[in-house]
Each structure stands twice: as C-alpha cells, then as structure tokens.
Chains A and B, each alone.
Chain A
C-alpha cells in the first residue's frame, strides 16, 4: 500500500520520508533559513490553543512571521501576503482578512500581495484538501497579533510609556491615558525595528471584538478587477517576444509518438515552428505526456496549425481501455471478497442470518474537471534560470518539479501564481507548467502553452471510476445489523506507481472505512482494480462515490422498510458519540483525531438543522419529491435536502436545495454560502451528465457539447445555506469540497420519492425517460 495522502507527498516520496524523520527546525536550518521568526511546526502548542491541526505535517509546514507576511508603508497602507492560490474559494481574501482582523488594520487600507512559490519562506502552499482556513486560522491570527504587538511596542517607546498602556485600534495605536494617537504608517519604520514577539506570549483578540471574522460583509479583493476584465489569470500573461504554443498529446495515456509530418502545419499563416515535446513513460506522475508543439504568433494560428499536423502514435499498453468492458470487471470484482480494511463483528455471518438483505450496486464513472480556464502556463527560461507564470494550486511543487526537470537549482526557479480560473484539483498537477518550461528552454524565448478544451478533456487527470456495492442486513424488526461495503476503483496512486491495485489510505478514508453508522457487524473491503488512464484528485475525490452509495443505501433501506428517509438516517447514525472505526492508522484528512474526531452529535445536528430549515416533510406538488443525505468530509459535516420535479417526459428540474454545514469556526460565511451554492450545481452536473468514457484507450468526449455541465436554465432555482454556529473554539474545517458529496444522493433519493425509480448508476442521463 502506498503511503500517500496529498499531492505534495507524491511529488517526492523520498523527500517525504526525510521530512518525517527529522524535525522541521533542522530542515529549515539545512535550507539555510536565517533571520525572521521561522517557526518549526507544530506551531499550535496545546497550552496556547485548544486544538492542533495537521498543518505542521504538510511539506515545509507553517511559517509564522509577520516580517514575511505583513508590511506597513509610511503611507499607512498595510500589505498582506496571500500565500495560497485563489481558484474561487475566496482564500486570497479570507487569510489576509484574518491577519488584518488580528492586527487591527482597517481593511480599506489593506492590499493583498500574491506570494510566489517559495515554501521555505511562506510555508506550505498546496491549495487543496479544503485545508487553507483549517490550517491557517490560528497562524494568520498569530501573524496579525505579532504585527500588532510590534506596532504597539514602537508607539509605547515613542511616547515613553509602558506597552501595556497602549492599544492598536482600527489602523492606529492609541494611548488612552493621554489621548495620543499614531497611525500605523507613522509607526511603520520603528515597528520594523522591534523584535518579533514570541508566539507563546501573544495575546489574541477576544472573538467578541471581531470586526470582520465570521461577519461576511467583505467582498473578495479581486471583485472590481473581475467585473472589469482586469483580473489576471494564467492565460493573461503577456511577455515581450512571447510565442504561443499548443501541443498535440498522445490520444491514449502512455502512448508514444511514432512520427510527425509538420509540412501542412507550417503553411498555416502565423505558424513559426513545429517541435517535439519530451514525454515521460506511464505512470508519468505530474510530468508531461509529450507530443508535438506548434509554435505561432498567436494561439489561433497555433490551434489551426495543430489541426493540420499529420501524426502517427503508438498507443502503448492502455490502447484497449474500454469503459463498457471495464465496468463489467469492476462489477464482478465487487461481488467477490476484497482486501478487508475495517472489520467489526462478523458481517458475513450476520448477512447470512439476516431476515432481509438489501443490495445496492452503484456505478460512478470518470469525470473531468473542466475548470472554465483550461490549463495554461507561461515560461521564460534563460540559461540556468526559469520564471513561470501559471494558475497552479501547488506553487511550491511546481517550483520543485520545474527545477528537477530542467536540472537547475530550485532557487533559480520563480513561480508567479496568477488567479486560477477554477481548479477543482486539476491544477494541483503542474504538467502544463513543465511543458512551457521545456519549450521555452528549447526556443530560447518566453512561451505560453495553452491547453484547448479538447486537450483538457482528452489528457487530464480524471476522477476515478468506481463500483460501490453495499449489502445491508436487517433483522425482523427492520433494524440494520450488518453492513458490507466493497469499493472497487482505480487509485490516484496509480498515476505515481505502476502496478497499483488498491486504493490509498486517503481514498479509503473518504467515506468507506470512516462510515459513521452504529451497526454491530461491519465489513469494508477493497477488491483490486488496475488503472488505464491518469487518475487524479477531483473536488471531494472519493467522497463522491462513497456518499452516493452510502446515502443512496439509506434511502433504499427506508424504501424497503417503509420509513421516513430522515428518521432512517438518524437511526443509522445512532447515538451521539465519537466513532472509532476498527481501522489501522485511520486517515483523517491529515488531522489529529483529538481535534477532529468523527462526531455523530455534529452529524445529527446538521441533519436536524437542514430538516428544520429545509422544511423536511413539507407537502410538495405531484411529480415532486424530497431527498436527504448527510456526509462528513474534510472534517466538516454537511446535510442536504433536494427538492426535485420530474415531468411526465422524464425532464428533471430542481426547485429548491437546502444545505446545512458545520465547518467549525469560520471566517467568511458569505464565501461559505457561495461554495455551497456552487457545490450544488457541480453535484447536479455530475449527477445529470458527468461521464467520461473510453474506447480503444481514447476518451470519447471532446468539449461541453458531449461532456455537459449544468447551465443556468436547469440549475437549482434556489439554494439555501445554513451554517451551524461554532461551539466555543471548535476547530475550523473544510468548506471548498464537502458541499459536493451529499448532493447527488439527496437528488437520487428525491427522484425516488417523486417517481418511485431508484437510480444506481450515474449519470442519470436518459434513465428517467425510459
């Protein structure tokens, strides 16, 4: 079994081992970090704060240093560094807002500066796993409090009064005894000379004095630029002398170029050159697939030139991948015992003795991310130096991989992070940035590599395909006494290690072995599945098939026993308790169990809240139905009710969605709502249309016409979002991904309520028309 749970670890397995063995501080020392307050992780000591997170275990951990993240100009402008990638979650606003809150800066006088990729300086920058707020709420508060303290100390010295007598309030420091005030700008130079206070001694603000956190009145920092076309994404970078490139990549993963005939392409006006791009053998990790690049004076000419190329490929070992045949293999594997990952009681015996066994075999196909901005990157490689501009979720990893590929020191690689036109996990893989670097090196000029939508769909890192088979055994009273869940799916680990047949801990930990129901006999199994294409992280990852299967099964049990879905769900969740599955080294989204246990009280709470606010059980018109689902993922708890309407021709609409989320302590409820609204639409897209299929090793879809996503005229009419107020200092948890998993099963349960049809295979497609 591969030990991997995030993209960074997969980038350099050996490095990860090294990180685990030595202390963070010694690593930092080894990397030559001097000066500043660069703290070894974990920074969140038990005595200072009520909880710990897994932040310190991420590559390069956490850096808490106001001198790295905050600068104050003589004009009073406070510049705060945003070191995570902005792909639509609002993180470029939320994290700097935390610093501003704690340092008493006035947000209207704050500028946000995007960090380049430098994890030694900024700490881990991997923007994935719904981790940013969860890992950085406290560090950002500490950074803000440090900066505030330094400003206060500078003012106290200037006035010759004890520091305890002064206080920073809304962008100035005041000495209330004498009525004196100094603006942050007036104190900037002196404050910079102050020593950085120790974290242990920092006094954080009382949350009741928060001006911004938890309020949701602050718009995202890029709002004006986005609405006026000034916001800069990867493709918007323009350098003097820059060439435009598109690449023809192997149509089959692992395929190789046999020959190319560039003559016709070179005749296209604007095309300047045709050249081969280096590819890496399968499994190729985050490295490029290779192919043939067409270099032109603009992207349009490059695309036209590529269309004119004559290419011959050797499809290689995956040339027979066929989704119809593969589905049968997965289904057959799911009907036989697999690797047992969680065993409590004796599920086999209990199923045999059960009064009734309900079997659900669920199929969920590959999905493509189709972020509105397809992958794109600009590179300028000169000698042993490289500069990259790209919409990457992993600036540090990109820097590392570009350096390694070009054979130059990491210090010589600058990765400028643009805005991301959506990410959803695709942009955690930096293959497109490496492609641009390789081409720029060879051409001796800056190059932009633009992926077309077809490239994005044909050559991506797809969401896995899976069969989830659940058998639930009921006793005479209708109580569920046995639960056997077999999950069969190619693993993301297969993109990194040949011969991978089992899912990785981080995949089985997403809704399979952490299943929270109170059932005496449980068996969670993982039969083998090989991969024949690149599998990658897709927003909420394995939680999509797991929540679909588990929550559909709850609907099926309710259906079979004639009970209300919500009551059935609460009965299965059982008593309020901390679930401790019998699983060796249970993966918990990288978080310690102490801070982030599986808490069924919180799970019940979101079900009850959404049932109340979403008016569960309300009377709906004929042809309408209500469905409910709940799921814990990214250590958050989310429940969704979907109202669906199906007309007599099988046309499906969604009049209303209600979602309740418990994500612990939160920063920006307005952005939480936007993430949940969007998750409902992404959930509806994957349920209704989402399917990538293969024939002869090739993806059969091309663009938004045959890989459809939901459009406005079919999107939910209204999505209501209810956020559970945090209880005291409940640790913050994920928001970006957890909204997706419960949507599809709630929809499917609603469709059953409306029509009596039980859908077990996604996408819904034409199933309701039959």
Chain B
C-alpha cells in the first residue's frame, strides 16, 4: 500500500506501484486538472508540484512520490487566486486551455525558486511546456506580472 498526500489529503494505492502518477491522479483519484499530452516528459501538460519542485507526472510513478506531498492545479490555491492564476486571467492567456494547468504549475514552481525571474529566465524556465495554440507571449507576460505583484 502506497500512501501519498495530494493537495493536503492522504491517498492510498495498492495497485501497480509503477503506475505513472498522471494516471493515478486522473483515473484513480479523479483529479482531471492535470493533463496528458505526450507521456514522455516532452510537453509539460502533466506538470505537478512535488515538495516544491515541478515534476512531470507522466514519467513519475506513484511509488516515486510515496510519502511525499503532491500539489496539482486543483490544490494550488483554495479559490484559484494564486498570483499566477490571477495574472493568467488578467492577461487572457489561454486559447484552448488544455496545456494551461501544466503551464501554471510550472510557473508557480519557477517563482518559488526564483521570485523575480528575468525575461530570459522565464523563457528558459517555461521552455519545457508546449502550447500548440501559441500563447507563449502572454504566458511570459503573465509570469512576469505574477512576479511583480498582481
């Protein structure tokens, strides 16, 4: 039995310990905010925060996070008012929106690590997250806005 804390709640799993965290979150725990985009840690759509670090849930097994704390988009802020989320709304960032949970989690982790990132640091720090609609310009501006206070 693997125990893992997700958004502050203890969850347990007695199935395949190698099951990617992504599918545990989505299909077993019903937390569908975290998205599948590639399964190979290439696109960042499944980004969650594990103990203050952004990780790709698609190549992280449930076993890898045993006893650790996982934060998903649903748990980033109780009212959805994390500065990154607010900045996102202020700048109308999303188009289709599918990659945005991963983008927001990546941005939140980036700002935890570096509260005042430069233009280049934002572009590099967010380069693991693909947006096929092409919202990058607004994502960059939103991360900057979140870092300067919304």
Contacts and interface: CB of A to CB of B under 8 A. Distances in A.
B145 interface: no
Interface in B73-112: 73-74, 76, 80, 85, 88-89, 92, 94-101, 104
A69 B136 CA distance: 35
- In the A-B complex, the 7 residue pairs with the closest CB atoms: A229-B33, A421-B98, A681-B134, A300-B23, A88-B96, A678-B134, A229-B73
A576 interface: no
A145 interface: no
Interface in B30-64: 30-40, 42-43, 45
Interface string B124-150: 101111111111111110000000000
Contacts of A421: 35, 96-99
Given A300-B27, A713-B127, A227 B92 contact: no
24 contacts: A90-B95, A220-B94, A226-B97, A227-B104, A229-B32, A230-B74, A231-B97, A233-B98, A269-B16, A297-B27, A299-B36, A300-B27, A372-B43, A372-B96, A374-B37, A422-B132, A450-B36, A453-B43, A681-B131, A703-B38, A703-B42, A705-B42, A709-B132, A719-B137
B132 A372 contact: yes
Contacts of B104: 227
B133 A453 contact: no
B134 A704 contact: no
Interface in A546-585: none
Contact of A233 (B35, B43, B139): B35
B76 to A, nearest CB: 8
A675 to B, nearest CB: 8
Contacts of B127: 711-714
Contacts of A674: 92, 95, 135, 138
Given A219-B92, A228-B73, A372-B43, A677 B32 contact: no
Given A228-B74, A373-B98, A670-B92, A712 B136 contact: yes
Interface in A290-307: 297-301, 303-304
A453 B40 contact: yes
Contacts of A703: 38-40, 42
Given A229-B72, A235-B36, 9 more contacts: A223-B89, A224-B80, A226-B100, A229-B31, A229-B73, A229-B101, A238-B32, A372-B130, A704-B130
Interface string A673-711: 011011111100000000000000000000111000111
Nearest to A87: B96
A715 B97 contact: no
A50 interface: no
B20 interface: yes
A453 B96 contact: no
B2 interface: no
A715 B136 CA distance: 7
B138 A301 contact: no
Contact of B134 (A231, A373, A679): A679
Nearest to B72: A229
B45 to A, nearest CB: 6
Contact of B96 (A236, A244, A422, A715): A422
A498 interface: no
A268 B19 CA distance: 11
A419 B136 CA distance: 21
B96 A373 contact: yes
A705 to B, nearest CB: 6
A373 B95 CA distance: 13
A304 B16 CA distance: 11
B28 interface: yes
B18 to A, nearest CB: 8
Contacts of A453: 37-40, 43
A680 B130 contact: no
Using C-beta atoms within 8 Å of the partner chain, give the interface range for chain A. Answer: 35 or more
Given A270-B15, A300-B19, A220 B39 contact: no
A89 interface: yes
A713 B123 CA distance: 5
Given A223-B94, A227-B94, A680 B32 contact: no
Contact of A228 (B15, B24, B80, B134): B80
A710 B126 CA distance: 12
Nearest to A271: B16
Given A704-B43, A712-B123, A300 B97 contact: no
A718 interface: yes
A397 interface: no
A685 to B, nearest CB: 8
Given A674-B95, A712-B140, A298 B39 contact: no
A276 interface: no
Interface string A226-261: 111111110110100000100000000000000000
A678 B15 contact: no
B89 A300 contact: no
A682 B133 CA distance: 7
Given A681-B134, A711-B130, A712-B123, A228 B35 contact: no
A244 B28 CA distance: 11
A235 B26 contact: yes
Nearest to A684: B134
A730 interface: no
Contact of A452 (B34, B39, B101, B132): B39
A297 to B, nearest CB: 8
Contacts of B95: 88-90, 674-675, 678
A703 B26 CA distance: 21
A298 B19 contact: yes
Contacts of B132: 370-372, 422, 424, 682, 709
Q: Name, among B24, B31, B32, B140, the residue most crowded by chain A CB atoms within 10 Å (CB to CB).
A: B32
Contacts of A299: 23, 26-27, 36
A703 B135 CA distance: 21
Nearest to A452: B39
A678 B133 contact: yes
Q: Name, among A224, A244, A712, the residue most crowded by chain B CB atoms within 10 Å (CB to CB).
A: A712
A420 interface: yes
A719 B139 CA distance: 13
Contacts of A235: 26, 32, 35-36
B6 interface: no
Contacts of B123: 712-713, 715
B39 A303 contact: yes
Contact of A718 (B35, B40, B137): B137
A372 B131 contact: yes
Given A223-B94, A674-B138, A713-B124, A230 B35 contact: no
A268 B26 CA distance: 19
Interface string A372-383: 111000000000
Nearest to B135: A678
A718 B137 CA distance: 7
A544 B73 CA distance: 37
A219 to B, nearest CB: 5
Q: Name, among B23, B30, B45, the residue most crowded by chain A CB atoms within 10 Å (CB to CB).
A: B23
A590 interface: no
Interface string A401-442: 000000000000000000111111000000000000000000
Q: Name, among A227, A238, A304, A454, the residue most crowded by chain B CB atoms within 10 Å (CB to CB).
A: A227
Contacts of B70: none
Nearest to B142: A227
A106 interface: no
A91 to B, nearest CB: 11
A298 B36 CA distance: 13
Interface in A645-680: 670, 674-675, 677-680
A222 interface: yes
A419 B94 CA distance: 13
